[in-house]
Amino acid sequence: MHQVRNIVIVGGGTAGWLTAAVIAARHQGRIKKGSFSVTLVESPNVPIIGVGEGTWPTIRSTLEKIGVSETDFFRECDAAFKQGGRFARWTTGADNDAYYHPLELPKGFADVNMVPHWLAHEGGVSFCDAVCPQGALCDEGLAPKAITTAEFRGAANYAYHLDAGKFAPFVQRHATAKLGVRHVPADVVAVHQGENGDVVSLDTKQAGTITGDLFVDCTGFASLLLGKTLGVGFKPCNDVLFCDTALAVQVPYPTPDAPMASHTNATAQTAGWIWDIGLPTRRGIGYVYSSRHTDADEAYETLARYVGPPIRTLTVRKIPIRSGHREIFWKNNVVAVGLAAGFLEPLESSAIVLGELSAKLIAEQMPATREVMDIVAARFNEVTTYRWGRIIDFLKLHYCLTKRTDSQFWIDNVDPASIPERLQNLLKLWKTRAPWFLDEFDRLEEVFPAASYQYVLYGMGFKTDVDPDDIAATSGLADRLMRDNAMATQRLKAQMPKNRELVTKIHTHGLQAI
């Protein structure tokens, strides 16, 4: 029997360090006894691509599990609260066209599907405002908790906006100091495989040969082990998601205490959309566009109109986006996490959450021996392929529900040939009933649960038939939940501090662990 005891992670960006920390935290007992090890090999020369400044609420339990303090995280990663996304001009393109995809589930989500009840009412209140308080909190720039709320707990569900360039070093410090992860700064110059194709060892320029039982490929777009060494192909999805380029810029606030949005702003443009993310020190803004539908000069002007005159003095970075993922994610004794596994445009911030979920799955399902590894790998591939597919569907949903016809970009986006069959079928189904439990999204860890589809569909004016007789039995409960929600919204609006104010207080006083 070949025991799996030494894990080697290649690449030290956000994906590499998060994976190292998650695996090491889960296997602390064995690491302390010396019967298990986690080593991270990272080139001292390759620059880290800071992917995504947006996260999902899963990051809270991930950070808590690896044992960092939320206060330290806020202070060292320039983090701020994120309570969801506000999507402007995606449906009609008009000035007043906007909806929220909040992180809170609709009230009573486990007991009743609120959608048909809301559709039957249609009293001028948006779906989001009818079923959860979070849109109202975002409208007023309020935080999801107070200074008296314990670390990682919230009055409303939340994730973070963070400085990705500071996040990886933050996790690195913790993983090496507290979790026993061995850090090897060295360039990999050769990969050695055994007869069965398994990676046996890596030759490095600075640190000699490194052997391992399981190798995690976190080498970014290079995909050194899974792509280059094991020859696993890349499956593009630019026939579904057209955006292939981003122009990114960091915009300072007019004053250090300027209001800071507690949600991601995503504003649709003629050939893509602009993200706008508030960190304590600056706003991260970027235009994600389809180079088939606009050119770089026009894209720059679009971004300049959004940012305003300050852009003339700022550095604008052009980032290629190669949307797609590997055909499989775990082959032989190599598993890929992060960009080495695939990448999608940043709509709905899927990058970090996918890395977290993969790391967690590897940590929890860690094969005890090489002999059972292929069984674990097959399951990992099945789950991860499912996740990528669902995320692609969910991102496409934002585009294909548009009613905009003002540019070829939007016209092309509703072309059925560009919509995955599964999503087409779901959209057909959802004209007759709204998504909920026992629907398509019944996996234990869905990246985007049915609630997310509800917020986007009904935020974008999707029509679902409602039979009044069908919902009569639960209408009393639904009415009560909407009333409860209205009260909860008023209460939270009165109690919650401003996002900026709370983040400043966390820097000054810190949050308590309990």
Partner 1 sequence: MANIAILNRQTHRTLRVQPAFAAPRNFVAVVVGEFAHLVAHYPILISKDSETGAFYCGVMLGIDQSENLFAGVSGLYRPLNVQRGPFFTSGSDIAIDLDHPAVGGGEPLFSEAGEPTAYLTSIMSLFRDLVPGIEQTKAFLGELMRLNLIAPVDINLGFDDGSERTLEGLYTVNRDALLRISDADALMLFRRGYLELCYMMLASLKQVSVLAERKNAALVERGRAAFG
Residue ranges binding partner 1 (CB under 8 A): 146-149, 505, 508-514
SS3 of residue 485 by DSSP: helix
CA 230 distance to own-chain centroid: 27
In the complex with partner 1, which residue's Cβ is closer, 259 or 510?
Answer: 510
Rounded distance between C-alpha atoms, residue 9 and residue 30, angstroms:
18
DSSP 8-state class, residue 299? H
Which amino acid belongs to residue 303?
A: L
Q: Could you give phi then psi for residue 189, rounded to 5 degrees?
A: -110, -20
Q: Residue 147 Cβ, how far from partner 1 at the closest point, in Å?
A: 4
Give the residue from 430, 501, 497 showing the smallest Cα distance to 154: 497
All residues at 6 or more sequence positions from 139 whose CB lies less than 8 Å from its CB, including other chains: none
Q: Residue 155 Cβ, how far from partner 1 at the closest point, in Å?
A: 11
Q: What would the two tokens of residue 139 be?
A: 């409208």
What is the Cβ-side half-sphere exposure of residue 233, based on CA atoms within 13 angstroms? 3
In the complex with partner 1, which residue's Cβ is closer, 153 or 228?
Answer: 153
Give the residue from 254, 361, 259 showing the smallest Cα distance to 308: 254
In the complex with partner 1, which residue's Cβ is closer, 150 or 319?
Answer: 150
Q: What would the two tokens of residue 218 be?
A: 């976190």
DSSP 8-state class, residue 371? G
CB atoms within 10 A of CB 493: 14
Q: Residue 508 Cβ, how far from partner 1 at the closest point, in Å?
A: 8
CA 378 distance to own-chain centroid: 24
In the complex with partner 1, which residue's Cβ is closer, 282 or 493?
Answer: 493
Q: Could you give phi then psi for residue 182, rounded to 5 degrees?
A: -90, 125
Helix (H) or strand (E) run with residue 8 in it: strand 6-10
Contact criterion met (CB below 8 Å) for 365 and 378: no
Rounded distance between C-alpha atoms, residue 218 and residue 487, angstroms:
47
Rounded distance between C-alpha atoms, residue 282 and residue 421, angstroms:
41
In the complex with partner 1, which residue's Cβ is closer, 149 or 193?
Answer: 149
SS3 of residue 40 by DSSP: strand
Q: Residue 71 Cβ, how far from partner 1 at the closest point, in Å?
A: 10
Contact criterion met (CB below 8 Å) for 462 and 397: no
Q: Residue 210 Cβ, how far from partner 1 at the closest point, in Å?
A: 38
Q: Residue 337 Cβ, how far from partner 1 at the closest point, in Å?
A: 32
In the complex with partner 1, which residue's Cβ is closer, 45 or 148?
Answer: 148
In the annotation, is 318 catalytic? no
Rounded distance between C-alpha atoms, residue 91 and residue 396, angstroms:
13
In the complex with partner 1, which residue's Cβ is closer, 114 or 506?
Answer: 506
Q: Residue 511 Cβ, how far from partner 1 at the closest point, in Å?
A: 6
Q: How far apart are the first and last CA of the chain?
A: 45
Q: Residue 64 Cβ, how far from partner 1 at the closest point, in Å?
A: 14
In the complex with partner 1, which residue's Cβ is closer, 64 or 374?
Answer: 64
Contact criterion met (CB below 8 Å) for 87 and 97: no
Sign of the Cα torsion 143, 148, 149, 155 reads: negative
In the complex with partner 1, which residue's Cβ is closer, 483 or 509?
Answer: 509
Candidate list 32, 33, 65, 82, residue with the active-site label: 82
Q: E strands along 194-300, which residues?
A: 199-204, 208-211, 214-217, 234-236, 245-252, 264-268, 272-278, 282-289
Rounded distance between C-alpha atoms, residue 250 and residue 162, angstroms:
13
Would you please indicate which residues are annotated as catalytic (active-site) residues?
Answer: 82
